[in-house]
Structure 1
Amino acid sequence: MTIRPLTTIGLDADDTLWQNEQYYRLTERHFAGLLKDYGDADEISARLLEAEKRNLAHYGFGIKGFTLSMIETALQVTDGRAPSSVVSEILSIGRDLLSHPVETLPHVHDALEALSGKYFLVMITKGDLFDQERKLAQSGLGDYFDAVEIVSDKTAVTYRRIFSKVGDGPERAMMVGNSLKSDIVPAIAAGCYGVFVPHELTWILEHVEPPVDAPRFRQIGHLGELPPLIERLA
């Protein structure tokens, strides 16, 4: 009996299956405008990024942590005198993010249709549980996936655990995503294939150098190129 080299495909969600970062960028510009009397947009954005870095260990990834970081930044740049109207508006734009319509990226439906039934498909995403569940439900992609894993962070340990639980181990699995830091480098360290699908907007904290010398590293231009890539490996 021939053993298939690849049986399980993991796919990231935000900015791999649907748009995400562009909404954060728009919100950040709105936020900087609220505080224009206390600093220029670049300075406000830099302070916000520092707050996000500090708060990741406390709040994790997602909109709720981002909203709390905006409030913290507003209090810092105003020396604790942020008007209640500004705090109220920050909460409002945070709620807007949590209810923003889902826009799937090009080629996603066709790629998942081509792979579904041939491979075990698992969505592996980090962020707020309720928000990610909402986006998956609104995306119309849920029926393509055999499993969904919403995690607090993505590490080699995470991928070994998931692909051992839902698949045939990391050596017979592939992780696909737009973040080198979260989706690709740790998946390859776990023993998986890592397929990088660049997005024009990727959060700066997700930037690392691509592991171009790793034998299991691949890069494609969009998800429409994924099925033929997988067939070449099979």
Structure 2
Amino acid sequence: MITTIAFDADDTLWQNETFFRLTEQRFLAMLADYAEHDGLSERLRAAEVRNLSAYGFGIKGFTLSMIETALEITEHRVPGTVIAEILAAGRELLTHPVETLPYVDQVLSQVQQRYRLILITKGDLFDQERKLAASGLAEYFSAVEIVSDKTEAVYRRIFTTRADGSERTLMVGNSLKSDILPALAAGSFAIHVPHDLTWSFEHAEAPLDEPRFAHIAHLGELPEAIEKFMAL
């Protein structure tokens, strides 16, 4: 029996990738006079992935990757004013208002009556704490885990210490790669809630043959999907 539901945060409970994409378009405009747009997004994406081991996930790593990309494509000729603009864009991301996604309050209020709720999110500690506080959702969760990455081992630890074990826990998130596959590997149930915009790094194949996996169109369908699991 499921006793605990763990939720991802970014692009599951509130908008996140949308603001990164808007900042990326701003970045492309900044460099319009210094480099061709063709391939620039791919260069930025490659820098982000390359820098994950050093900077981790989040806005600060994204900002540093934009600076690195600007230096690379202009052979270090990019003006200091453009670097300053990139830094300003990164600061704006760090203060952007939090926009919760449809059905979030309704569903959290409903499932909280029957299950323990925990939040598992990855990224910069300061930024994730800010977004959680601004979202007004903190009261729903009995525990919050902000981790550097989401792996099978991380999920096993959290499901053991914050819940009643993996076999009694359900993970809900928008990323197949980070929220679904490692949670299933840890022994939990998992429900995928897709977002219109998901970073390419988070793409993966859905485990359609796994009985502990389900896919829903939006968070409003979560209670019904949970009931189907409970009937297994």
- Do they superpose with TM above 0.5? yes
SS at match of 1:214: coil
- Runs of at least 5 residues in structure 2 that lack an aligned partner in the other structure: none
Correspondence for 1:82: 78
2:117 is aligned with 1:121: yes
Cα distance between partner residues in 1 of 2:104 and 2:53: 32
Match of 2:158 among 157, 162, 167: 162
User: Whole-Å Cα distance in 2 between the matches of residues 233 and 208 of structure 1?
Assistant: 23
What root-mean-square deviation, in Å, do the aligned CA atoms of Structure 1 and Structure 2 show? Answer: 0.9
What SS does structure 2 have at the residue aligned with 1:41? coil
Q: SS of the counterpart of 2:196? A: coil
1:144 to 130, 140, 161: 140
Alignment of 1:97-116 (within 5 A): 97-116=93-112
Contact 2:212 2:229 in 1 (8 A): no
Q: Tell me the alpha carbon deviations over residues 15-54 of structure 1, each in whole angstroms, 9 at most, x when there is no partner.
A: 0000000100000010011111233334211111111011
What residue in structure 2 maps to residue 179 of structure 1?
175
Offset at 1:69? 0.3
Calculate the TM-score normalised by the size of structure 2: 0.97
Shift of 1:137: 0.5
What residue ranges of structure 1 are gaps of 5+ in the alignment?
none
Task: Describe the SS at the equivalent of 1:100.
Answer: coil
Match of 1:68 among 50, 57, 64: 64
2-side partners of 1:27 and 1:164: how far apart? 38
1:46 to 42, 45, 49: 42
Q: Is the 8 A contact 1:195 1:219 kept in 2?
A: yes
2:4 counterpart (5, 8, 12): 8
> Are residue 17 (structure 1) and residue 13 (structure 2) matched?
yes
Q: Which amino acid aligns with 1:193?
A: F
> Partner residue of 2:198?
202
TM-score normalised by length of structure 1:
0.96
